[in-house]
A and B are shown apart, each in its own frame.
Chain A
């Protein structure tokens, strides 16, 4: 329940924020606050108490310090592209927008890194360095809009993370502000932390531990060449076996994506790139590196695909064709959006060996819930994106889609996988955390939050199914002075 007493103090909070961030940086009118009411998970909406858009680290620190003193909750936000409701506002919380931190502060080719503010978009980093032959590797589908600060909060991935890693493997340092206003620098242009890897645990903490105000990202030299193979299979089992054998043969493709029949049909109808329509599963395998290596590996992958009953094999002949192969995959979500009024995108990861079984089970669930599902899949790393098709205007379909989605994620956990591969827990999967972690696991995570934010004011209500007070979590039960374990081996 929102804190009514705090909402009553709204005018005081607004006034205090205006003293910290003068001018247009504090947004109060309902019409302007409406812009911030949801993120990429549009099923959830909530008007924030007030929006503040600071433009300096000092302002961020002062805003957080004031909110801590006032007991006001804070929700940090980058571009608002989270697919798990990570930036969903609170009725009794200040929304802290980082959009004004939009400058690239420095590019250091000698040390292969760039220093950027958190509101810089993911793609803008690559755009700024590509003239020198470099790029920033993690490439979430929303890269044109999503910000690097949000990428750090969510530990974002993309189609190339099998070979090049997620955000956590591609950043070297951050500057961050704690809820008490302290500014902390972690890492820098060097590799490896000097004590506990606080940078590592900040990455993917979904805005619950601190607010990132600067990021040092690693930039990589662009591979000499990249080619893609389009491979069609008569069954998803064949495709899954092919993927396993490619990796078993020691090949780590730059990307390895799978689509099932409904996804292929939707994508082809949308972009018309010549995807085969007579197959049950389509793989896009991208190989990059030195030209002789790419040719060598394309030959190997072709041979493996043939072994697994591939009916279509098309290597890209040039760069436009490679991009065409990808255009269908990259447009898969909007393509599905064309054939269904609404869709709900899931994000579990499974051990790849269980893929065929999970897809079969998913078809049974699809019949049970009377909702169609299309699958796109980061096949290389086992990250599934089932798209559940529904119509929000039909009574009961939203609820059915959510229940179907929850069943899919539970299935992922049952077969040894996890709830989320790259979209984050947010509010969406919060209540499913118990399927993967027991109370003790979660208590260890929540106590870590207490070390950063003892009052629980930063982005509360995300990730954890229940809110606990730090004092209650901190208790330790020891029966002092006696030996409760007489059977323990002693030497």
Chain B
């Protein structure tokens, strides 16, 4: 495989233009930490964006940051921390889940986080990666430079192509520069831990907490089986956790109110700030499911109220470790021993007994054979699948960028 590593926008355009000319598709890579996501690719060329890096403009009081698409998240986090700001969508580090060497995991980039639209526990309050993506410049599969969005937080000029780039896994355009919205870091942080609940009771409590005005910014449930992946909880009973962030007096007030209003009949405790940071980072990075072995890892998005029953339904039929984030709206499941990695059982469970349930499952980690044989992304009804195909074609008519990464033959 030949590798092309453009140093600037012109070279990026030329690299894609040349691939078009010789009709050799490109695998688009920046840090390479997420190469295991999506359908496996075996392409003649690699487009390495890692030289398109560096923060280009950052004005803390504008809440806006522009950077080369391949700027490492670590570098962004460090610059933001100096101004006590953050990427509020908490881009996960999936290095441990994928068993990557620290050097590779440390190269995860801002563009990669946006292209995969991966968000952490704060998604329920602050929104997803896509909600913070304000603008970009890049080169489409047509070999043409184009831009969309802007460098201000409020903009409706033209189609919101940032949304389309978020979660497109590099199949529409190679991003050269991205602009994101940044937010202040909370002054203080506290975690309420509730022990010994079953999944359905836990989801009811998490849902009640999110329906309260106490601004919960993390709501997770970890069954006993999955606590092994967390050093702080290892071997304990099932745990539900709620995160509260904000000015110190506010966090204290809200924690008291929340505990009083939830009317709990289970054991409640608190994590201090340091333990809270470690706990939520572990949730963000899917550590409860990390570890040796080749379990298939699924990320399942459903209506939050269905999360508990869905986890249990899958657990009854397959050898599964699972936990819930987003107050039940996100089920992470690790499955062993099923030929299809559990795809049929999971996707049946999403549709439910009446066949009308909505949601979707993405195979986040699996062997190349598995990712080739089962749809990694949820299959779509024909009219929508056709529309998605036409969108791909409008940006990349010759299928030169990551062809087949999301859907076979696309």
Contacts and interface: CB of A to CB of B under 8 A. Distances in A.
Given A169-B131, A194-B378, A482-B21, A200 B391 contact: no
8 contacts: A221-B211, A250-B85, A250-B184, A290-B250, A382-B153, A441-B158, A480-B23, A491-B5
Interface string A370-384: 000000001001110
Contact of B215 (A161, A195, A289): A289
Interface string B390-408: 1111110110000000110
Interface of A, secondary structure class, is loop
B157 A188 contact: no
Interface stretch (A71-79, A109-117, A313-321): A109-117
Interface in A165-212: 165-166, 168-169, 173, 178, 182-186, 188-201, 203-205
B164 A200 contact: yes
Contacts of A122: none
Contact of A195 (B6, B14, B167, B207): B167
Given A190-B359, A440-B145, A245 B61 contact: yes
Given A221-B213, A490-B2, A190 B303 contact: yes
A488 B151 contact: no
Interface string A141-169: 00000000000001101000110011011
A250 B84 contact: yes
A482 B304 CA distance: 54
B378 A201 contact: no
Contacts of B130: 197, 200
A187 to B, nearest CB: 8
Interface of B, secondary structure class, is mixed
Contact of B11 (A201, A252, A489): A489
Given A184-B383, A351-B64, A448-B161, A481 B247 contact: no
B159 A201 contact: yes
A195 B407 contact: yes
Contacts of B326: 191
A177 to B, nearest CB: 10
Q: Point out which of B20, B154, B207, B384 has the most chain A C-beta atoms below 10 A from its C-beta.
A: B154
A334 interface: no
A463 interface: yes
A250 B184 CA distance: 5
Interface stretch (A325-333, A336-344, A390-398, A415-423): A415-423
Contact of A201 (B14, B128, B140, B163): B163
Contact of B246 (A293, A378, A429, A445): A293
B109 interface: no
Contacts of B60: 247-248
Contacts of A252: 183-184
Nearest to A416: B151
A441 B146 contact: yes
A417 B152 contact: yes
A481 B387 contact: no
Contacts of A227: none
Nearest to A133: B213
Interface string B279-302: 000000000000000000000011
B91 interface: no
A485 B157 contact: no
B388 interface: yes
A467 interface: no
Interface stretch (A16-24, A36-44, A260-268, A471-479): A471-479
Contact of A489 (B5, B162, B214): B5
B117 A197 contact: yes
A293 B213 CA distance: 13
Given A252-B183, A289-B213, A419-B157, 10 more contacts: A112-B211, A165-B131, A190-B329, A194-B380, A196-B167, A250-B84, A351-B64, A444-B144, A451-B393, A478-B143
B63 A247 contact: yes
A443 B395 CA distance: 10
B21 A480 contact: yes
B132 to A, nearest CB: 10
B270 interface: no
B100 to A, nearest CB: 22
Contacts of A436: 150, 157-158
A436 B254 CA distance: 45
A451 B390 contact: yes
Contact of B158 (A194, A289, A416, A445): A445
A160 B62 CA distance: 17
A158 to B, nearest CB: 11
B330 interface: yes
A353 B154 contact: no
A116 to B, nearest CB: 16
Interface in B123-174: 123-124, 127-128, 130-131, 140, 142-148, 150-164, 166-168, 172
A479 B395 CA distance: 19
Contacts of B406: 195
Contacts of B156: 154-155, 157, 166, 204, 420-425
